[in-house]
Structure 1
Amino acid sequence: MLPLSDLIAALKTRWRLELFIVLAVLTLVGIWIALSPRTYVAASTLLFDEPTVDPVQGTQASGQDGVGAMLNTQSDVIKSIAVAGEVVRNLQLATPEVIERWEAATGGTGDVNSWYGRQLLGNLEIASENASRVLTLQYQSTDPQFAAAMANAFATSYLDMRLKLNTDPARTYSRWFQERTSEVRENLQKAQARLTDFKRETGIVDNRTTDAEIARLGELSNQLTSAEASAAALNARAGSNAAQSTDVQSSGVVQGLRAQIASKAAQVSQMSTALGPNHPDMIATKAELAELRSKLAAEVGNSTRSVRVASNAASSTEAELREKLNAQRQRMLNLSSDNAQLDVLQRDVDTAQAAYDAVAARLQTMRLQSVAPDTNVRQLDPALPPLLPFSPNVPLRLLLGAVLGVLLAVGVALGLELWRPRVRTAAGTADITGVPVLATIDLSDSRASRLLAEAA
Structure 2
Amino acid sequence: MNDPQIFQAPEPRGSRSWIDSYLPQNQMVHHQPRQKLIDMAAVRGVIFRQRWLIAGIIIAAVVTGLIVTLLATPMYEARSTVRVEPYASYIVEGQNVDQGIAPSQVFQQLNTYVGIITSRNLANVVAEQKNLGERTDFLGPNIDESRPENMSDAQWLDAKQKMAAAKLHRSVSSEFPTNNWIITIVYRSEDPQIAAEMANAYSDAFVASDTKDTIAENEYAKEYLREQIQLVRGRLEEAEQAANGYARRSGIIVQTGQDEFGASGQTLTSSNLASINTRVAAATADRIAAEQRWRSVQSVPASQLPEVQSNQALQTLISDRTLKETELTDLRQRYNDEFPQIGNVRAQIETLNRQINRSSSDIKASVRNEYIVARNRENALRQELSDLTGATLAEQDRQVEYSVLEREAGALRLQLQALLARFNQVSTATDIQSGTINPLDTAIAPGSPYSPNLLRNMLMSIVFGIAFAGALAVLRELLDDRVRSLDDVEERLGLPLLGHTPFVEDEDIGTEGRNRFGSLMESYASIRSTIDFALPRDRNVIQLTSSEASEGKSTTAIILAELFASLGRKTLLIDADMRRPSLAGLIDVKDPEYGFVEVLLGHTDLESAVIKGVHENLEILPIRELPTNPSEILSSKQLRDFIDKYREEYSLIIFDAPPVLGLADAPALAGMVDGSIFVLEANRVRFSQAKVAIRRLQSAGGNVFGTVLTKYRALEAGQSYNYNYDYYQYGKSK
Is TM more than 0.5 here? no
TM-score band by shorter chain is 0.3 to 0.5
TM-score computed with the length of structure 2 as normaliser: 0.24
Q: TM-score scaled to structure 1, two decimals?
A: 0.36
Give the strand-richer structure, 1 or 2.
2
The structure having more radius of gyration, on CA atoms, is 1
